[in-house]
Chain A
Amino acid sequence: MIEAKGLTKVYGEKTAVGGVSFTVQAGRVTGFLGPNGAGKSTTMRMIMGLDSPTAGSVTVNGEPFAQHKAPLREIGALLDAKAVHTSRTAYNHLLAMAATHSIPTSRVREVIEMTGLSDVAKKKVKGFSLGMGQRLGIAAALLGDPQTIILDEPVNGLDPEGVVWVRNLVKYLASEGRTVFLSSHLMSEMALTADHLIVIGRGKIIADAPIAEIITGKGQARTRVRTDQPERLMQLLAGTGVSVEVHERELLEVSGLDPRGIARTALENQVMVYELTPLQASLEEAYMELTKDEVEYHSHITTGASVPAQAGGK
């Protein structure tokens, strides 16, 4: 379990993390989501005692990280895939880390095999792809078989197979009762991986809730309807609490009425409907909604630019 209380980090005039408090529970995957520069990595470095907080405190399994008698066996972290001397081989890197805690060589081999690095373990890290570097970082995090695992952007640079592997790994680790804290700026990945979500923007916690709640908390359920008589259906559906948007000639988006209700109205009035799809607000939309005021680096459409700054979701 990780507990942050009023955790603050100020660099000169810039507040990277502004008094955040949260708890990461054991037995589930907690996602740490936020745009670039939101303070995710700074928060994680403070958890690991690498950066000291300007104010506030953070404990892991009840104690500040540095107070643990065997830190590697309590908390494993991937903070940065580049936290390695690149002229050393992957095996020797892990061996040197393991030596600090008398972790046996057999365990070093085990994590190498587990992370799929067997073929490159005796090669210098210099030649590793970003994905291989991530795997090595994850191997280092698992070395001490820790109760708490912190992974900063673990799927960065991984191929699709690696992404699925990380997803399954963290779910498995959480199912064993471990605390898993995972940061990402990819909401789609979080939607598939995390059970619980802490959303941070500009150094402040914007949301801290189960992932389902964050998704459903955003607006009402909507339904996509295709019909060859859109005008007539709009008239029929019009009523209290129902709003209809016209998207294309024969495509409507209805909110305030469930698909069954829409189908019944259409059937009773002999209107042909050829698509009826319940729409769930995506985590992406929920996230955009949550962070729209908190994004550090806004994209703007500059004059003459032909590319829209933000891809349309419709």
Chain B
Amino acid sequence: MSTTTLDRRSIRNSVGPGPAFHRVLNSEFIKFRTLMSTLILLASTAIVMVGFAALAAWGTGSFAEQAARDPEAAAAIAAQGGDLAVSIPTSGISFAQLILGSLGVLLMSSEFTTGMARSTFAAVPKRLSPFLAKLIVVVVSAFLLTAVSTYIAGLVSLPIVDSYDLKLDLGSSQSIKLLLVNSIYVAAVAAIGMALGTIVRNSAGGIMSLVGIFFVLPIAFQLIPGDFFKEASKYLPTSTLSPLTAVEHVPDTLEAWQAALVLGAWVVVPVALAMILLKKRDV
């Protein structure tokens, strides 16, 4: 409590290191790992991914068992390329996207709702550096978590699938493609979430916008009659996942490269807008 412990360094020749990007990145990572709520969201994503994969393995297995006795179902399976089991590990992906997208929103909106932003941007007044550092932390962790959870989900599903005499090869090129594309997709959703959190600066508003884009719009576009909405729904971010993971091009969807561009635009536009607003607005 005494003031005499204060360093007598008031006259200094050099001031000392400033907020270089790697230091800001380290700071953002400390902020990321020291929030219990973040860790809970990450853990629940993993649990949901693994749990849904196990359920899907069980469901797919019993369906295949029935199909063995039912020629119609067998034909339906054959029409899908015959590989039922390959998408089992990523069954929980839409929940992962919701949770990690919300995490992206929260990590930025909470800066503003708690007032932490004043500390953050007083320490690093060039505001884009903490924004980009946080974006990297969010995107990388969303990617890694989805990839690892998908792989674990695959390992957990293996014995279940096995018991139904179905084959699931986690090392097959389609399995690896599904794992990578889904992980990139969830990372993209997390980035969009963080941009939304920066733009609206409000947790509830940010998560509602995210849910609007990823859950409400796809359904609404299907329900509204007319060719325009049918065509427009191809350009929703949720519609990019199936062209990107399809074995062959599915009619009435985008080509894989188009889907990649559309998803890229869905990330770049809100992120750029968020950066402009962050730079311009008062904290």
Q: Which residues of A contact B121 (CB under 8 A)?
A: 49-50
Interface hub of A80, A169, A176 (most chain B Cβ within 10 A): A176
Distance in angstroms between the alpha carbons of A88 and B30 in the assembled complex? 10
- The proximity string for B residues 123-140 relative to A, scoring 1 for CB distances below 8 Å and 0 otherwise, is 111100000000000000
Distance in angstroms between the alpha carbons of A88 and B114 in the assembled complex? 11
| Chain B, Cβ-Cβ closest to A98 | B27
Q: Which residues of B contact A95 (CB under 8 A)?
A: 30, 34
Interface status of A6 (Cβ within 8 A of chain B): no
Interface status of A45 (Cβ within 8 A of chain B): yes
Interface status of A77 (Cβ within 8 A of chain B): yes
CB pair B8–A99 under 8 Å, yes or no, is: no
Interface status of B1 (Cβ within 8 A of chain A): yes
Distance in angstroms between the alpha carbons of A278 and B5 in the assembled complex? 41
CB pair B19–A116 under 8 Å, yes or no, is: no
- The proximity string for B residues 220-236 relative to A, scoring 1 for CB distances below 8 Å and 0 otherwise, is 00000000000000000
CB pair A96–B23 under 8 Å, yes or no, is: no
* Shortest distance between the CB of A90 and any CB in chain B (Å): 11
Cross-chain contact of A85 among B5, B24, B116, B282 (Cβ < 8 A) = B116
Distance in angstroms between the alpha carbons of A140 and B6 in the assembled complex? 14
CB pair A99–B23 under 8 Å, yes or no, is: yes
* Shortest distance between the CB of A239 and any CB in chain B (Å): 52
Q: Which residues of A contact B283 (CB under 8 A)?
A: 45, 50-51
Interface status of B36 (Cβ within 8 A of chain A): yes
Q: Which residues of A contact B119 (CB under 8 A)?
A: 83-84, 93, 97, 140
CB pair B34–A79 under 8 Å, yes or no, is: no
Interface residues on B, range: 35 or more
Q: Which residues of A contact B111 (CB under 8 A)?
A: 85
- The verdict on A147 contacting B124 (CB below 8 Å), with A85-B116, A102-B23 known, is no
Q: Which residues of B contact A177 (CB under 8 A)?
A: 10-11
| Chain B, Cβ-Cβ closest to A99 | B27
Distance in angstroms between the alpha carbons of A33 and B117 in the assembled complex? 26
* Shortest distance between the CB of B8 and any CB in chain A (Å): 7
Cross-chain contact of A48 among B8, B9, B115, B122 (Cβ < 8 A) = B122
* Shortest distance between the CB of B121 and any CB in chain A (Å): 6
CB pair A100–B123 under 8 Å, yes or no, is: yes
- The verdict on A97 contacting B114 (CB below 8 Å), with A89-B34, A172-B6 known, is no
Interface status of B70 (Cβ within 8 A of chain A): no
Distance in angstroms between the alpha carbons of A32 and B123 in the assembled complex? 23
- The proximity string for A residues 34-56 relative to B, scoring 1 for CB distances below 8 Å and 0 otherwise, is 00000000000100111110000
Interface status of A254 (Cβ within 8 A of chain B): no
| Chain A, Cβ-Cβ closest to B133 | A100
- The proximity string for B residues 8-19 relative to A, scoring 1 for CB distances below 8 Å and 0 otherwise, is 111100011111
Residues 203-230 of B contacting A (Cβ, < 8 Å): none
Interface status of B79 (Cβ within 8 A of chain A): no
Distance in angstroms between the alpha carbons of A169 and B122 in the assembled complex? 22
Interface status of A196 (Cβ within 8 A of chain B): no
Q: Which residues of B contact A253 (CB under 8 A)?
A: none
Interface status of B110 (Cβ within 8 A of chain A): yes
Distance in angstroms between the alpha carbons of A305 and B116 in the assembled complex? 42
| Chain B, Cβ-Cβ closest to A144 | B16
CB pair A110–B19 under 8 Å, yes or no, is: no
* Shortest distance between the CB of A2 and any CB in chain B (Å): 15
| Chain A, Cβ-Cβ closest to B130 | A100
Distance in angstroms between the alpha carbons of A96 and B133 in the assembled complex? 13
Q: Which residues of B contact A168 (CB under 8 A)?
A: 3
| Chain B, Cβ-Cβ closest to A76 | B122
- The proximity string for A residues 144-176 relative to B, scoring 1 for CB distances below 8 Å and 0 otherwise, is 110100000000000000000100110011001
CB pair B19–A84 under 8 Å, yes or no, is: no
- The proximity string for B residues 191-213 relative to A, scoring 1 for CB distances below 8 Å and 0 otherwise, is 00000000000000000000000
Interface status of B31 (Cβ within 8 A of chain A): yes
CB pair A99–B5 under 8 Å, yes or no, is: no
Residues 232-248 of A contacting B (Cβ, < 8 Å): none
Interface status of A292 (Cβ within 8 A of chain B): no
Residues 158-203 of A contacting B (Cβ, < 8 Å): 165, 168-169, 172-173, 176-178
Q: Which residues of A contact B116 (CB under 8 A)?
A: 83-85
Interface status of A17 (Cβ within 8 A of chain B): no
Cross-chain contact of A88 among B3, B16, B35, B125 (Cβ < 8 A) = B35
| A50-B121, A50-B283, A84-B115 known, 8 other contacts, Cβ within 8 Å | A45-B118, A45-B282, A83-B118, A85-B114, A85-B116, A114-B3, A145-B9, A165-B1
A-B contacts, 27 listed (Cβ < 8 Å): A49-B125, A50-B121, A50-B122, A51-B282, A66-B125, A71-B123, A72-B19, A72-B123, A73-B18, A77-B122, A83-B118, A85-B31, A85-B111, A87-B36, A88-B31, A92-B34, A97-B27, A100-B19, A101-B16, A101-B23, A102-B17, A113-B1, A113-B5, A114-B2, A142-B6, A145-B7, A176-B10
